[in-house]
Amino acid sequence: MKKDSGIIGVLALLGLFLIFFVPLAIISLIFGLADLCSKKILSNEEMKKVMDEEKKKIGIPHFVSIAIRNTPKYDFSIFGGYGGKMQELGKNKYLVSLGHATNRRTIAHEIFHVYRFLAIKDENGLYFYDELLARIYELFRINLSLKKI
């Protein structure tokens, strides 16, 4: 009987591994490959141009001001090599800070967070849900936000 419970424990751990860690590894691999294929944006002028294009694509109104800042010595990602951060500075004023591996996807991701913030305003949203929507928008440019501006 004791041997059976050991086998069940091993199978349970294997199941957890397959359910949680394998999908995370696959998703990380997809984002890693996408990062390798993405052109890095190095100049502030190019960042501003891409930000304006992405802002227009998603439909953020022209009166919303988004400043962009490159912070190459600080990485916002827990995985390294990727990331950004969006902050509200005031009514319709936002700051997007970007890490050292800035590319079009990173900028689109942060612009989506501005869009979601404008759409949900004062409601408390779920961070994980918003992050998932931003990741989908970043990769496929599909806006799955149920709330629109």
Tens digit of each residue's pLDDT (9 = 90 or more) over 21-49? 777 778 777 777 776 777 888 788 898 99
On the question of pLDDT at 77 being above 60, the answer is no
Fold of 40-140: Zincin-like (3.30.2010)
Reported as type and span, the H/E element at residue 95 is strand 93-98
* pTM as predicted: 0.72
More confident residue, 56 or 24: 56
pLDDT of residue 65: 93
Phi, psi of 30 (to 5 degrees): -60, -45
Rounded-to-integer distance, Cα 10 and Cα 60, Å = 51
Nearby residues of 68 by Cβ (< 8 Å), 6 or more positions away: 44, 47, 48, 51, 95, 96, 98, 107
pLDDT of residue 4: 61
